Amino acid sequence: MGSNITIQRILGILLHRIRFIILVALVAGLLTFLYTNFFITPQYSSSTMIFVQNYNKKAASDSSGTAGATAQSSGSADSNSSNNEVAQKIFNSDISGSSTLASICVTLFQNSDKITTLYNGCGVSFATVNGTFYITITANGSDPERCASVANQIADMCNEVFHDNFMYGQLGIIRTAKPAGAPISPNKMQNTLIGFAVGLIAACLISVLLELIDTTIKPDEDLAELYHIPVFAEIPDFESGGN
């Protein structure tokens, strides 16, 4: 009898069907694990890091040598040392300018035909690191070896694309990509727990729903509630309880 459902009654229903609920939850978790393990293709990720600068170290060194030669010809050693330090110093404007250049390069690399043709079925992303002049190139796919190869090829091509579009500055590789040892997705444990939780909730809802649509009279309390009279005794069904 499904009338007058209360919190206490719901708890009683769930406890009465606890085996069914646990069984459904375990089956749901197991099925989710099997699906994740055998039907979802693992995805791997490899990344490389490059840097771009709006100044050239070689040019700075040449400027330093020129300044030193000029100072030496004038016979001033202190002036020579000072000019060398100034010529080789990295100013804040150089760092901020390189950071801006890195952001511009990200847009350039994302839209360069020379680079996009190297994707080879991988998902590739470019991103600057915390507003610096460092750029990470990440390749995602089902083959870890191919992801690492694509990331490294793109890093090399970025150098060519950079100098094709800018007459100043420099680009270099800080870290090369290596094949990933473990996939980044799917997360088998997380998916299994999600499947278990979904099965647990579904089993609870089904149990309560079955109770709501069940109009048969089962416990003594149903008779007392239906007829508003107390129940003093029960007569067992000897035929059904016999053989």
- Output the domain CATH number for residue 166: 3.30.70.1130
Q: Are residues 137 and 22 in the same domain?
A: no
Total domain count for the chain? Answer: 2
Q: Are residues 54 and 112 in the same domain?
A: yes
Q: Are residues 49 and 138 in the same domain?
A: yes
pLDDT, residue 155, reads 97
Q: Are residues 71 and 125 in the same domain?
A: yes
Q: Name the burial class of residue 102, with classes exposed (0-12), middle (13-18) and buried (19+) by CB atoms within 10 angstroms of its CB.
A: buried
Q: Are residues 62 and 167 in the same domain?
A: yes
pLDDT, residue 164, reads 95
pLDDT, residue 74, reads 43
Q: Is 236 inside a domain boundary?
A: no
In degrees, to the nearest 5, what angle opens at C-alpha 103 toward C-alphas 44 and 148? 20
Q: Are residues 74 and 133 in the same domain?
A: yes
pLDDT at 34 over 90: yes
Main-chain phi, psi angles of 174, to 5 degrees: -95, -45
Cβ atoms of residues 133 and 104 within 8 Å: no
Q: Is 239 inside a domain boundary?
A: no
Q: Is 126 inside a domain boundary?
A: yes
Confidence of residue 63 (pLDDT cuts 50, 70, 90): very low
**Distance (Å) of CA 113 to CA 110, 123, 216:** 9, 15, 72
Average pLDDT, integer, range 153-170? 95
Q: Are residues 204 and 103 in the same domain?
A: no
Q: Are residues 105 and 212 in the same domain?
A: no
Q: Are residues 124 and 223 in the same domain?
A: no
Confidence of residue 36 (pLDDT cuts 50, 70, 90): very high
Minimum mean pLDDT among 82-96, 167-181, 187-201: which range? 82-96
pLDDT, residue 70, reads 43
Instruction: Give the mean pLDDT of the chain.
Output: 83
pLDDT per residue as tens digits for the range 164-187: 999 889 999 999 999 999 999 999
pLDDT at 121 over 90: yes
Q: Could you give the CA distance from residue 141 to residue 111 in angstroms, rounded to a whole number?
A: 20
Domain that holds residue 154: 44-175
Q: Are residues 52 and 21 in the same domain?
A: no
In degrees, to the nearest 5, what angle opens at C-alpha 64 toward C-alphas 58 and 65? 90
Residues with Cβ within 8 Å of residue 183, at least 6 apart in sequence: 42, 43, 44
Q: Is 114 inside a domain boundary?
A: yes
pLDDT, residue 173, reads 96
Q: Could you give the CA distance from residue 194 to residue 99 in angstroms, rounded to a whole number?
A: 42
Q: Are residues 101 and 16 in the same domain?
A: no
Q: Are residues 164 and 125 in the same domain?
A: yes
Q: Is 205 inside a domain boundary?
A: yes
More confident residue, 203 or 236: 203
Token readout for 73 is 């010809």
